[in-house]
Amino acid sequence: MKVHNYFKHYLIVEESLSDNTIDAYIRDVEQYISYLGEKKLKVDDNTSILNYIKYLVKCGYTIESILRKLSSISTYYDFLIKEKKIDKNPVLAIDKPKKWFKLPEFLNEEEVDKILRCIDKNTPIGVRDYIMILLLYTSGLRISELVNIELTNCDFKRGIIRVKGKGGKERYVPIHKKILDLLDNYLEVRHNYFVKGSDSGYLFLNRYGKKLSRVYCWGIVKKYAELAGIKKNVSPHVFRHTFATHLLKNGADLRVIQMLLGHSSILTTEIYTQLDDDSLRNSLISYHPRFER
Q: Which residues belong to the active site? A: 142, 166, 237, 240, 263, 272
**What span, in angstroms and rounded, lies between the C-alpha atoms of 240 and 117?**
19
Length of the chain: 293
Q: Residue 140 CB: number of other CB atoms within 10 A?
A: 21
User: Residue 276 to residues 28, 90, 283: CA-CA distances in angstroms?
Assistant: 32, 34, 11
**What span, in angstroms and rounded, lies between the C-alpha atoms of 154 and 159?**
8
Cα 146 to chain centroid, rounded: 11
> Measuring CA to CA, which residue among 169, 163, 133, 128 is closest to residue 148?
163
> Measuring CA to CA, which residue among 144, 169, 162, 148 is closest to residue 24?
144
**Opening angle at CA 42, ends 40 and 44, nearest 5:** 165
